[in-house]
Amino acid sequence: MARGIPTIAYTYSEPVIFYEYMYDTAMEGHDHGIRSVMITNGYIMEQPMIDLCQQLTAVKVDLKAFTEKFYRESCSGELKPVLDILVTLKKMGIWLEIVVLIVPTLNDSPEEIDQMTRWIGENLGREVPVHFTRYHPTYKIKNIPPTPVKTLEKARDIALKNGLHYVYVGNVPNHPAENTYCASCEKVVIKRVGYRIIEVNLNEGKCKFCQNPIPGIWKDPLA
Protein backbone atom coordinates (compact mmCIF):
# COMPACT_ATOMS: atom_id res chain seq x y z
CA MET A 1 0.00 0.00 0.00
CA ALA A 2 2.87 2.35 0.78
CA ARG A 3 4.15 1.92 -2.78
CA GLY A 4 0.82 2.79 -4.35
CA ILE A 5 0.45 -0.38 -6.40
CA PRO A 6 -2.87 -0.48 -8.30
CA THR A 7 -3.39 -4.24 -8.57
CA ILE A 8 -2.29 -7.54 -7.05
CA ALA A 9 -2.30 -10.65 -9.27
CA TYR A 10 -2.53 -14.05 -7.58
CA THR A 11 -0.81 -16.66 -9.74
CA TYR A 12 2.09 -19.12 -10.01
CA SER A 13 1.36 -21.55 -8.48
CA GLU A 14 -2.36 -22.21 -8.48
CA PRO A 15 -3.76 -19.63 -6.02
CA VAL A 16 -6.52 -21.95 -4.79
CA ILE A 17 -3.70 -23.68 -2.87
CA PHE A 18 -3.31 -20.56 -0.71
CA TYR A 19 -6.97 -19.57 -0.78
CA GLU A 20 -7.16 -18.16 2.76
CA TYR A 21 -4.07 -16.00 2.27
CA MET A 22 -5.40 -14.75 -1.07
CA TYR A 23 -8.84 -14.00 0.38
CA ASP A 24 -7.49 -12.07 3.36
CA THR A 25 -4.99 -10.13 1.26
CA ALA A 26 -7.54 -9.31 -1.43
CA MET A 27 -10.01 -8.13 1.21
CA GLU A 28 -7.37 -5.89 2.79
CA GLY A 29 -6.45 -4.53 -0.62
CA HIS A 30 -10.10 -3.96 -1.51
CA ASP A 31 -10.54 -1.87 1.62
CA HIS A 32 -7.58 0.29 0.55
CA GLY A 33 -8.52 0.68 -3.11
CA ILE A 34 -6.15 -1.98 -4.46
CA ARG A 35 -7.66 -4.28 -7.08
CA SER A 36 -7.05 -8.03 -7.11
CA VAL A 37 -7.06 -10.45 -10.02
CA MET A 38 -6.86 -14.24 -9.90
CA ILE A 39 -5.16 -16.48 -12.47
CA THR A 40 -6.46 -20.00 -11.89
CA ASN A 41 -7.17 -23.39 -13.40
CA GLY A 42 -10.74 -23.02 -12.16
CA TYR A 43 -10.68 -26.20 -10.09
CA ILE A 44 -12.49 -24.89 -7.04
CA MET A 45 -15.87 -25.44 -5.41
CA GLU A 46 -18.64 -22.98 -6.13
CA GLN A 47 -19.20 -21.31 -2.74
CA PRO A 48 -15.53 -20.46 -2.07
CA MET A 49 -15.37 -18.97 -5.57
CA ILE A 50 -18.51 -16.91 -4.96
CA ASP A 51 -17.09 -15.65 -1.66
CA LEU A 52 -13.78 -14.75 -3.26
CA CYS A 53 -15.46 -12.87 -6.10
CA GLN A 54 -16.58 -10.26 -3.58
CA GLN A 55 -12.93 -9.23 -3.27
CA LEU A 56 -11.76 -9.63 -6.88
CA THR A 57 -11.90 -7.41 -9.94
CA ALA A 58 -11.15 -10.05 -12.57
CA VAL A 59 -10.45 -13.75 -13.05
CA LYS A 60 -8.47 -15.46 -15.79
CA VAL A 61 -9.14 -19.19 -16.12
CA ASP A 62 -6.79 -21.62 -17.83
CA LEU A 63 -9.11 -23.99 -19.65
CA LYS A 64 -6.73 -26.88 -20.25
CA ALA A 65 -8.77 -28.65 -22.91
CA PHE A 66 -12.34 -29.58 -23.73
CA THR A 67 -12.31 -33.33 -23.15
CA GLU A 68 -12.62 -35.37 -19.99
CA LYS A 69 -9.85 -37.60 -21.39
CA PHE A 70 -7.31 -34.76 -21.31
CA TYR A 71 -8.29 -33.67 -17.82
CA ARG A 72 -8.19 -37.24 -16.54
CA GLU A 73 -4.91 -38.27 -18.16
CA SER A 74 -2.95 -35.00 -18.15
CA CYS A 75 -4.36 -33.19 -15.11
CA SER A 76 -5.70 -35.99 -12.89
CA GLY A 77 -8.89 -33.98 -12.76
CA GLU A 78 -12.23 -33.44 -14.45
CA LEU A 79 -13.49 -30.96 -17.02
CA LYS A 80 -17.04 -30.47 -15.74
CA PRO A 81 -16.16 -28.72 -12.45
CA VAL A 82 -14.12 -26.18 -14.41
CA LEU A 83 -16.99 -25.52 -16.81
CA ASP A 84 -19.34 -25.13 -13.85
CA ILE A 85 -17.03 -22.52 -12.30
CA LEU A 86 -16.84 -20.63 -15.59
CA VAL A 87 -20.63 -20.41 -15.61
CA THR A 88 -20.60 -19.29 -11.97
CA LEU A 89 -18.09 -16.53 -12.75
CA LYS A 90 -20.25 -15.36 -15.63
CA LYS A 91 -23.31 -15.22 -13.37
CA MET A 92 -21.33 -13.27 -10.77
CA GLY A 93 -20.66 -10.58 -13.35
CA ILE A 94 -16.92 -10.48 -12.67
CA TRP A 95 -14.59 -9.72 -15.57
CA LEU A 96 -13.58 -13.08 -17.04
CA GLU A 97 -11.00 -14.15 -19.59
CA ILE A 98 -10.04 -17.64 -20.77
CA VAL A 99 -6.63 -18.93 -21.81
CA VAL A 100 -6.17 -22.20 -23.68
CA LEU A 101 -2.62 -23.53 -24.03
CA ILE A 102 -2.68 -25.47 -27.29
CA VAL A 103 -0.49 -28.58 -27.08
CA PRO A 104 0.03 -30.47 -30.35
CA THR A 105 -1.72 -33.88 -30.50
CA LEU A 106 -3.29 -33.42 -27.06
CA ASN A 107 -5.89 -30.65 -27.39
CA ASP A 108 -5.41 -29.10 -30.82
CA SER A 109 -7.98 -30.84 -33.01
CA PRO A 110 -10.31 -28.52 -34.95
CA GLU A 111 -13.26 -30.56 -33.68
CA GLU A 112 -12.33 -29.94 -30.04
CA ILE A 113 -11.74 -26.23 -30.64
CA ASP A 114 -15.09 -26.03 -32.40
CA GLN A 115 -16.91 -27.67 -29.50
CA MET A 116 -15.09 -25.53 -26.95
CA THR A 117 -15.76 -22.20 -28.62
CA ARG A 118 -19.38 -23.06 -29.32
CA TRP A 119 -19.82 -23.87 -25.63
CA ILE A 120 -18.16 -20.61 -24.61
CA GLY A 121 -20.42 -18.58 -26.87
CA GLU A 122 -23.57 -20.33 -25.70
CA ASN A 123 -22.78 -20.39 -21.97
CA LEU A 124 -20.49 -17.43 -21.32
CA GLY A 125 -21.27 -15.05 -24.15
CA ARG A 126 -19.55 -13.91 -27.31
CA GLU A 127 -17.65 -11.09 -25.63
CA VAL A 128 -15.58 -13.21 -23.23
CA PRO A 129 -11.95 -12.85 -24.38
CA VAL A 130 -10.31 -16.14 -25.35
CA HIS A 131 -6.53 -16.50 -25.73
CA PHE A 132 -5.02 -19.42 -27.63
CA THR A 133 -1.41 -19.60 -26.50
CA ARG A 134 1.62 -21.39 -27.86
CA TYR A 135 3.08 -24.34 -26.01
CA HIS A 136 6.87 -24.74 -25.68
CA PRO A 137 8.54 -27.98 -24.52
CA THR A 138 9.52 -27.71 -20.87
CA TYR A 139 9.26 -29.32 -17.45
CA LYS A 140 7.39 -32.64 -17.69
CA ILE A 141 6.49 -32.51 -21.39
CA LYS A 142 9.59 -32.17 -23.52
CA ASN A 143 8.85 -34.74 -26.20
CA ILE A 144 6.27 -32.65 -28.07
CA PRO A 145 7.43 -29.85 -30.41
CA PRO A 146 6.22 -26.26 -30.03
CA THR A 147 2.75 -25.47 -31.27
CA PRO A 148 2.79 -24.38 -34.92
CA VAL A 149 1.60 -20.81 -35.26
CA LYS A 150 -0.79 -21.95 -37.99
CA THR A 151 -2.52 -24.20 -35.45
CA LEU A 152 -3.17 -21.20 -33.21
CA GLU A 153 -4.41 -19.17 -36.15
CA LYS A 154 -6.74 -21.99 -37.14
CA ALA A 155 -8.11 -22.14 -33.59
CA ARG A 156 -8.71 -18.40 -33.69
CA ASP A 157 -10.46 -18.66 -37.05
CA ILE A 158 -12.78 -21.35 -35.68
CA ALA A 159 -13.59 -19.25 -32.62
CA LEU A 160 -14.35 -16.18 -34.73
CA LYS A 161 -16.49 -18.26 -37.08
CA ASN A 162 -18.44 -19.46 -34.04
CA GLY A 163 -19.22 -15.88 -33.13
CA LEU A 164 -16.67 -15.02 -30.45
CA HIS A 165 -15.65 -11.38 -30.71
CA TYR A 166 -12.32 -11.14 -28.89
CA VAL A 167 -9.95 -13.98 -29.72
CA TYR A 168 -6.19 -13.75 -29.36
CA VAL A 169 -3.01 -15.61 -30.24
CA GLY A 170 -0.51 -15.66 -27.38
CA ASN A 171 3.17 -16.50 -26.85
CA VAL A 172 3.86 -15.39 -30.43
CA PRO A 173 5.57 -11.97 -30.24
CA ASN A 174 4.46 -9.38 -32.80
CA HIS A 175 1.57 -11.49 -34.06
CA PRO A 176 -1.33 -9.27 -35.21
CA ALA A 177 -3.75 -11.34 -33.10
CA GLU A 178 -2.10 -9.93 -29.97
CA ASN A 179 -4.15 -6.82 -30.65
CA THR A 180 -7.75 -6.06 -29.70
CA TYR A 181 -9.97 -5.34 -32.69
CA CYS A 182 -13.33 -3.62 -32.64
CA ALA A 183 -16.03 -6.22 -33.27
CA SER A 184 -17.94 -3.69 -35.37
CA CYS A 185 -15.48 -1.87 -37.65
CA GLU A 186 -12.61 -4.36 -37.11
CA LYS A 187 -10.02 -1.64 -36.57
CA VAL A 188 -7.31 -1.97 -33.91
CA VAL A 189 -8.44 -0.44 -30.63
CA ILE A 190 -5.53 -1.72 -28.52
CA LYS A 191 -2.19 -2.49 -30.16
CA ARG A 192 0.22 -4.70 -28.21
CA VAL A 193 3.70 -6.11 -28.51
CA GLY A 194 4.10 -8.82 -25.91
CA TYR A 195 3.15 -7.27 -22.57
CA ARG A 196 3.54 -3.71 -23.82
CA ILE A 197 0.63 -1.57 -24.98
CA ILE A 198 1.72 0.50 -27.97
CA GLU A 199 -1.48 2.24 -28.97
CA VAL A 200 -4.96 2.78 -27.53
CA ASN A 201 -7.85 3.90 -29.72
CA LEU A 202 -10.60 4.11 -27.12
CA ASN A 203 -12.77 6.95 -25.87
CA GLU A 204 -14.42 6.11 -22.56
CA GLY A 205 -14.54 2.42 -23.40
CA LYS A 206 -15.75 2.92 -26.97
CA CYS A 207 -14.00 2.42 -30.29
CA LYS A 208 -12.54 5.75 -31.38
CA PHE A 209 -13.45 5.03 -34.99
CA CYS A 210 -17.08 3.86 -34.82
CA GLN A 211 -18.10 4.41 -31.16
CA ASN A 212 -18.88 0.72 -30.65
CA PRO A 213 -18.62 -0.18 -26.93
CA ILE A 214 -15.63 -2.41 -26.18
CA PRO A 215 -16.12 -4.68 -23.15
CA GLY A 216 -13.51 -4.25 -20.45
CA ILE A 217 -12.66 -2.50 -17.20
CA TRP A 218 -11.94 1.03 -18.33
CA LYS A 219 -12.66 2.75 -15.02
CA ASP A 220 -11.34 1.91 -11.57
CA PRO A 221 -14.11 -0.19 -9.95
CA LEU A 222 -12.87 0.77 -6.48
CA ALA A 223 -12.65 4.51 -7.13
Three-state secondary structure along the chain?
CCCCCCEEEECCCCHHHHHHHHHHHHHHHHHCCCEEEEEECCCCCHHHHHHHHCCCCEEEEECCCCCHHHHHHHCCCCCHHHHHHHHHHHHHCCEEEEEEEECCCCCCCHHHHHHHHHHHHHHCCCCCCEEEEECCCECCECCCCCCCHHHHHHHHHHHHHCCCCCEEEECCCCCHHHCEECCCCCCEEEEEECCEEEEECEECCEECCCCCECCCCCCCCCC
Same domain, 57 and 159: yes
- The answer, yes or no, to whether residue 21 has pLDDT greater than 90, is yes
Same domain, 69 and 157: yes
Same domain, 153 and 201: no
Q: What is the CATH number of the domain that holds 120?
A: 3.20.20.70
Q: For 26-39, how does the pLDDT look when each residue is reduced to its tens digit (9 = 90+)? A: 999 999 999 999 99
By C-alpha distance, which of 29, 105, 207 is closest to 37? 29
Other beta carbons less than 10 A from residue 140's beta carbon: 6
If you average pLDDT over residues 79-83, what whole number do you get? 98
Q: In the structure, what pLDDT confidence band is assigned to residue 47 with cuts at 50, 70 and 90?
A: very high
Residue 1 lies in a domain: no
Residue 66 lies in a domain: yes
- The answer, yes or no, to whether residue 2 has pLDDT greater than 70, is no
- Domain residues for the domain of 199 are 179-223
Same domain, 187 and 146: no
By C-alpha distance, which of 155, 163, 196, 201 is closest to 178? 196
Same domain, 135 and 195: no
- The answer, yes or no, to whether residue 72 has pLDDT greater than 90, is yes
Same domain, 168 and 113: yes
The residues facing 78 across adjacent strands are: none
**pLDDT value at residue 195:** 87
Domains: count for the chain: 2
**pLDDT value at residue 1:** 55
Q: For 149-161, how does the pLDDT look when each residue is reduced to its tens digit (9 = 90+)? A: 999 999 999 999 9
Same domain, 158 and 221: no
Same domain, 94 and 196: no
Same domain, 191 and 163: no
Residue 150 lies in a domain: yes
**pLDDT value at residue 141:** 87
